[in-house]
Amino acid sequence: MAAGGSGGGPGGLSSSSSSSSGPPPPPGNGAAAAACTNGPPASPPGLTYNQCGAGNPAAAAAAAAGGPGSGGSAAAAAPGGAAGGPLQREPVYNWQATKPTVQERFAFLFNNEVLSDVHFLVGKGRGSQRIPAHRFLYSDEVQIGPETVMTTLYTAKKYAVPALEAHCVEFLKKNLRADNAFMLLTQARLFDEPQLASLCLENIDKNTSDAINAEGFTDIDLDTLVAVLERDTLGIREVRLFNAVVRWSEAECQRQQLQVIPENKRKVLGKALSLIRFPLMTIEEFAAGPAQSGILTDREVVSLFLHFTVNPKPRVEFIDRPRCCLRGKECSINRFQQVESRWGYSGTSDRIRFSVNKRIFVVGFGLYGSIHGPTDYQVNIQIIHTDSNTVLGQNDTGFSCDGSSSTFRVMFKEPVEILPNVSYTACATLKGPDSHYGTKGLRKVIHESPTTGAKTCFTFCYAAGNNNGTSVEDGQIPEIIFYT
């Protein structure tokens, strides 16, 4: 246990000592001996020195260690004194002789008036207690529980005890769960524990739904909310994230004693509102929720409806970058070795079948753009389970190109899981002018991880039926963007 005399700690503790000095010298040093031979320092308000070394943490430590100034016999009167005569000290028994080890001596001093140099007043009124303490650590043994860990961490930080601090952080890491991740994240940011904060954020990424439904979510501060909403790795649909943020705004209105109305919800959200990625919602989700919430302005609602329904899509004030709850580095493969000009579109989908040798998550395609300079395209992309003809993922969106033969990214709103050795069909339906296209296509393309050397093998096959001419050898959909 670390006891400090500066007061102001958590848990309603107040100190009867007015001392605000720095940490005491190490146990058993020369200062302890000097405290006994030269007399104790003047007693701070509320403290009474009744023994050699009282009020001096170095002397107390020396006494526990059995060193100089340990008070092993009745203390002699100080050679000097005040005008009224020498300071009188009460005789003490040789308690150290009954404690053969340093650990036992320190344990004896715990909660003991002997050599106490500070008192803590705990509680109020008649129920208050005056607890003696010493400004050093009694031992390196510590028992931490969920109810005490944060106050112990506060104390360890305040009195610069890194070993105790590390013990608290390790306890928090072991007890980190989805239902307390937001509470611990707030505390980690408060106590400047970046490693713990990082672990909390990773837990929230993996268990976003459970974390935002936990009771502690609505108790976090605005800065913590912003830090979470800025992440690209949250694993949850955006409309559910919006609903959780609305719950937080209602709780914050109550904390600020504001009426819970849309205007005040928007006010307390501040920057956080702009971090909701409304373009990632479907038009049905947006119409049923955010558009009717009253939190968005009429101009914002109209702008977002236009974004959902018009091509080319107008610019909106909200982020349209997909969130991807996947770890590791984004990968991509290109199945063509050469690029040519003039691939036309008449409303038919370009389609190509593919399979992989391991489980991956596809997040988008790379598509060719116009041969006529900068142009906007309207596009619908899909991944279909070939055997069942089930659409596993799609996005009706658009992209802008610069007239070069480069590929241009078109992303799904959520990652699409691709299982090993299963046939899938990649589809892209473009509306726009003639574009570049790929030739000298490869039937097998292998991606090798630059860090682990792991290989992901793609096998491409002809998709029968309406495919706008795309095949293994020529056509559109040159790139698949994925995570392993």
Q: What is the mean pLDDT of residues 409-415?
A: 88
Residue 106 reports pLDDT greater than 90: no
> Is it the case that residue 270 has pLDDT exceeding 90?
yes
Nearest to 222 by CA among 234, 230, 232: 230
> Residue 356: its pLDDT value, please?
98
Mean pLDDT, rounded, for 59-79: 47
Element (H, E) at 130: strand 129-133
Most confident by average pLDDT, 60-74, 229-243, 254-268, 328-342: 254-268
Write down the pLDDT at residue 91: 53
Mean pLDDT value across residues 66-94 = 46
For 251, the 3-state DSSP assignment is: helix
pLDDT at 221: 95
Name the pLDDT band for 155 (thresholds 50, 70, 90): confident
pLDDT tens string 287-304:
999 999 999 999 999 999
Burial label, 83 (beta-carbon count in 10 A; 0-12, 13-18, 19+) = exposed
pTM recorded for the entire structure: 0.55
How many whole angstroms separate alpha carbon 432 and alpha carbon 467?
17
- Is pLDDT larger for residue 143 or for residue 420? 420
- For position 6, what pLDDT does the model report? 36
Long-range contacts of 261-265 (CB under 8 A, 24+ apart): 261/294, 262/293, 262/294, 262/295, 263/294, 265/294, 265/295
SS3 (DSSP) at 76 = coil
